[in-house]
Amino acid sequence: MTDFDVVIIGAGAAGLMCAIEAGKRGRRTLIIERADAIAGKIRISGGGRCNFTNLDCGPENFLSQNPRFCVSALRRYRPRDFIALVERHRIAYHEKKLGQLFCDGKSSEIITMLSRECEAAGVTIRTATTVTGVENGHPGFSLAIEGGAAVTCRSLVVASGGKSIPRMGASGFGYQLAGQFGHHVIAPEPALVPFTFQNELLEKLKTLAGVSVEAVVGHGGKSFAEAVLFTHRGLSGPAILQISSYWRPGDDITVNMAPGRDMAAVLKAARDRHPKQDLHNILAQKFARRLAQFICDEAGVDGRLADLSNAKLDQVAGLIHAWRVRPNGTEGFRTAEVTRGGVDTKGLSSKTFESRKVPGLYFIGEVVDVTGHLGGHNFQWAWASGHAAGNYV
């Protein structure tokens, strides 16, 4: 049996940050990771360049049944704090857009940085190690390890993530532990995930696979202005991923495919200048040709502009600015970037992330019911929640 002050289950962004802070405080710290390598999501994030934070990250960029829960941690560890760590390790980075910061090089630079910080803090990391059970020792905890000796600790931190991207080793183990110790778990659902469609609409959308358009996508009073990508399954792209976190089955979304333009005025002016032109050819000057034809088909309007009334052109413009569509579902956890829902924050301290039910038990990162927007916000939540807990475990 091996004894530690702190054991952290999960070597993702939150777990690594927590371990670094705990180790700096002289706490004998162990990270247990079931995968063969640490930081799997960091490795694949940002197309391999790691969108490690967002300059504009704030509480408004997160969803939770308790929207105020994230405020304390985010205020105590801000994007500039992580940027300072990145700069100290001389990692080159750039702002891509909308405050999103990426490595100039590869995501592995961030992983190497965190590994070195763990080493400097005296943190022990065990990969390819599976925890099969946890018992409360009153005080402390005992962890059963598959094929190995049990591990005991004074503080146990659950940083095992959500259910998104199961090929990276994601599972519901953190939720299982939460339930075991009396915590309520808000049903985990895929978030930041593409939409799928079925039947006739899917067949239409398949013809547009690979086409993208800058748009504003809205639902329930929330909207996001970024690209929409048509796929062979339905809709994806940043704007779609963003709104998916707010969508519920059976709801419509609205897509404005020409934000900032008055398409009714544009089409009427085109009719005055080019009355013999067909509508789909005029639209093809503004959109990809396949999308232009799709708009005409959906609106049920095409032909020479000279033959189209103001009402018909208004009808087309109305569809362009407010295409209402109802997804059949999403691609699920297989492609979801994060998990919505998780351990109910009512049972946790927003200052320390310690359980209000079980002393010495902590939950951080994606396993908690705090879900960030696309663009580096979920990593900032991982850094902030890990840093907060690491200063108290």
Domains annotated for the chain, with CATH where assigned, are 2-189+339-390 (3.50.50.60), 194-330 (2.40.30.10)
**Average pLDDT for residues 100-114, to the nearest whole number?**
98
Is the pLDDT at 171 greater than 90? The verdict is no
> pLDDT digits over 308-320, tens only?
999 999 999 999 9
Position 216 pLDDT exceeds 70: yes
Helix (H) or strand (E) segment spanning residue 102:
strand 100-103
* pLDDT value at residue 288: 97
Which uninterrupted H or E stretch holds 256? strand 253-256
Question: What pLDDT is attached to residue 161?
Answer: 93
Residue 204 phi/psi, 5° resolution?
-65, -45
pLDDT mean over 93-109: 97
Among 30, 149, 73, 40, residue whose Cα is nearest residue 377:
73
Share of the chain above pLDDT 90, in %: 96
Please give the span between the terminal C-alpha atoms of the chain, in angstroms, as a whole number: 21
Cα 234–chain centre separation: 19
d(CA 22, CA 26): 7
pLDDT given at position 136: 95
The pLDDT of residue 99 is above 70: yes
The model's pLDDT over 39-86, given as tens digits with 9 standing for 90+, comes to 999 999 999 999 999 999 999 999 999 999 999 999 999 999 999 999
Strand pairing class (329-330; 195-196): antiparallel
Which residues have a Cβ under 8 Å from the Cβ of 240 and sit 6 or more positions away?
A: 194, 195, 217, 228, 229
Question: Average pLDDT in the 25-48 region?
Answer: 96
Q: What are the tokens at 139? A: 């005080």
Indicate if the pLDDT at residue 2 is higher than 80.
Answer: no
The SS3 assignment for 72 reads helix
Confidence of residue 1 (pLDDT cuts 50, 70, 90): low
| C-alpha dihedral sign at 368, 371, 375, 380 | negative
Alpha-carbon gap, residue 285 to 287, rounded angstroms: 6
DSSP category for residue 207: T
CB-based burial, 262-289: b 16+ in 10 Å, e otherwise? ebbebbbebbeeeeeebbbbbbbebbbe
Give per-residue pLDDT as tens, 327-379: 999 999 999 999 999 999 999 999 999 999 999 999 999 999 999 999 999 99
Reported as half-sphere exposure (CB side, CA atoms, 13 A), residue 331 has a value of: 21
